[in-house]
Structure 1
Amino acid sequence: MRISVYIPLLVTAVLAVLAPRAVRRPAPRPAAWFLACAALVTATGWLGSLALLAFTGFAQIPEVAEEGHWSVAALRTQDPVSPAVASLSALTLAAGLALLGVAAVRKVRHVLWARRECGRAPQDTELLLDEEVPQAFALPGAPGRIVVSCGMLRCLGDAEREALLAHERAHLRGRHHHFQTVWRLTAAVNPLLRPLAETGGFVLER
């Protein structure tokens, strides 16, 4: 465990640097799947390594070792983890889990809001926002909605409007909000994965 436990931490740093560059050439769909899977696997490994480091240091406390019926001397010899590393790992793990909880709650609230707003709109309506500010976005739900402001429509010609609606329909059809959820939650667990979330958003727009 001396080296292997640190591998997920190293992979996370390397992935955060190289992944944004690696997904520029592939097609958007496989690039999005790669980023989502990489973020999920890496975040899981990150949490596992932190938990293992924290537990190994915590297990060297004589009272804990007595309850677990293992040898502190043997543990220190086979899996040496300094108290400082164990403490830092425990704090990082606790912070990551807390941020994950906050991000998950915010996501649930957003989903509930989106479903409530979709439920209020007529089933055959796509243009919902009566504002002059140009904006357009896909609102996931059951069913999903495309929200386009009147200001945006006035800025576009007929062909551009069709392209805009097709673009937003593609977001709903591809369920891109699930990808965004994965990236946001993994970035909350590990801030080093934020470049993947930013790159993933760009890939989905492609």
Structure 2
Amino acid sequence: MDAGVFVPLLLPAAGWPLARLVSTVARPPVAVWLLTGSAVALAAGSTAALCVLAFAGLSLVPLVARIGEWSPQSLQGMEIASVPVEAGCGLALTVAAVSIVVTCVRRIRGLRALRRIVAGADGELVVVPGAGPVAFAAPVRGGRIVVSRPMLAALDPVQRRALLTHERVHLRRRHHLFLAATGSAAVLNPLLRPVRPAVEFLVERWADEETAERLGDRRVVAAAVAKAALVARGKAPEFAPAATGGPVPRRVAALLAPAPPRLGWRPVAALCAALSLVVTGWTAQASVEAAADLHAGLELASVGHHHHHPHALA
């Protein structure tokens, strides 16, 4: 099999420099979409490549060869598969499958816990009386903003409005889906782990900027973010965006700086988009070509098997 099959397994290593570049030059909404789309495509490509390689290894097993009616000797002669390499890929695929199942179970349990917290709440705002200072957007029951009384008490009325507007932006823009997608991509391919914190930071910057635009005062939003992070206790669920998430000092510094230009597709941002498309396209092409090579090899091995065993055609 052509060495190009390993391209989808190695390209996710570009996740860290891509995340750094896109986070720096593109506006938060653009950067979030680019990084999430790239991470999902790269994770899908690497998983597909693992599936192809693992199946290529299984094709050499006599029992599998008999079921598929092809000759494992022919496959070995065509260098379709290599047992040590494919065995390692099969192990990696198994680990990825188990990890994604564990992640899904953990998220389901977390969502159930959130539903219990917001149970009985009539409106969008759910005030938790006994908890420490916390605030986050819960993506359950149509979207709820969970805030504790100590958090509300720590902020003045203007800061409370900024905090609630920030969480409302998280719900309206469905930021939890971006976090879930990049988190799942990182589980499928650990090389994509740097993308997850980058997207977490960017969704907070997205909510910060939209909140500042709605309120018309960047300093008020910066003060609210800084104060909420200073008094916060505990951590919000990983799939529930919170105003205290991401590197807060960087967020506050960005809010105290002038607003970024409204034009999201500046030349450098467009270059990042093109780079993301090239990387994901290369991954998809390599995965498809590997699958086509394996299919062609199996077809030839099947013909050779029937040629040497004419009774199989009966």
Give TM-score, length-normalised by structure 1: 0.89
User: Is 1:196 aligned with 2:195?
Assistant: yes
Alignment partners' CA distance in 2, 1:201 and 1:173: 16
Counterpart position of 2:173: 174
The residue that corresponds to 1:135 in the other structure is 134
Residue by residue over 1:24-61, the C-alpha shift from the partner in whole angstroms, topping out at 9 and shown as x without a partner, is: 22111121112221121111111111111111122123
Amino acid at match of 2:152: L
Structure 2, unpaired ranges of 5+: 206-314
Q: 1:24-39 maps to which residues of 2 (within 5 A)?
A: 24=23, 25-39=25-39
Larger radius of gyration: 2
Deviation at residue 75 of structure 1 after TM alignment: 2.0
What secondary structure is seen at the aligned counterpart in 1 of 2:2? coil
Report what 2:20 is aligned to.
21
Q: What SS does the corresponding residue of 2:141 show, helix, strand or coil?
A: coil
Distance 1:134 1:117, change over 3 A: closer
Match of 1:186 in 2: 185
- Kindly provide the amino acid, as one letter, of the partner of residue 204 in structure 2: E
On the 8 A contact 1:103/1:184 being kept in 2, the answer is no
Whether the 8 Å CA contact 1:36–1:182 is kept in 2: the answer is yes
One-letter amino acid of the counterpart of residue 166, structure 1: T
Aligned to 2:158: 159
Alpha-carbon offset, residue 103 of structure 1: 0.7
Please list the CA deviations of residues 96-137 of structure 1 after superposition, one character each: whole Å capped at 9, or x if unmatched.
Answer: 00111111112222223323433321x236141224732211
TM-score by length of 2: 0.60
Higher relative CO (CA 8 A, sep ≥ 6), structure 1 or 2? 2
Instruction: Note if 1:71 corresponds to 2:49.
Output: no
Q: 2:147 maps to which residue? A: 148
Contact 1:56–1:79 (CA under 8 A) maintained in structure 2 = no
- Runs of 4+ off more than 6 Å: none
Aligned partner of residue 143 in structure 1, secondary structure: coil
Question: In 1, Cα distance between the equivalents of 2:204 and 2:5?
Answer: 36
* Distance in 2 (alpha carbons) for counterparts of 1:124 and 1:61: 60
SS of aligned partner of 1:148? strand
Which amino acid is the alignment partner of residue 105 of structure 1?
V
- 3-state SS in 1 of match to 2:140: coil
Length, aligned pairs only:
204
Are the structure 2 counterparts of residues 58 and 165 from structure 1 closer, same or farther at C-alpha, using a change threshold of 3 Å? Answer: same
The gaps in structure 1 that reach 5 residues or longer are none
Equivalent pair of 2:152/2:160 in contact (CA under 8 Å):
yes
Let me know the Cα RMSD of the aligned residues. 1.9
CA contact (8 A) 1:138 1:146 kept: yes
User: Among the aligned pairs, what percent are the same residue?
Assistant: 37
Tell me whether 67-76 or 89-98 shows the greater mean CA deviation: 67-76
Secondary structure at 2:193's aligned position in 1? helix
List aligned pairs for 1:104-143, cutoff 5 A: 104-121=104-121, 123-124=122-123, 126-131=125-130, 133-143=132-142
Aligned to 1:88: 88
CA distance, structure 1, for counterparts of residue 22 and residue 120 of structure 2? 39
The offset of 1:77, in angstroms, is 4.0
What is the distance in 1 between the residues matched to 2:85 and 2:7?
A: 15
State which drifts further: 143-152 or 3-12: 143-152
Deviations 1:74-110 (A, max 9, x none): 3234344322111110000001001111111122222
1:110-165 deviation per Cα after TM superposition (whole angstroms, max 9, x unaligned): 223323433321x2361412247322111111232111222222322222111111
- Mapped partners of 1:150, 1:116: distance in 2: 18
The SS at the match of 1:120 is coil
Question: Per the alignment, do residues 170 and 79 of structure 1 end up closer, same or farther by CA in structure 2, a change over 3 Å counting?
Answer: farther
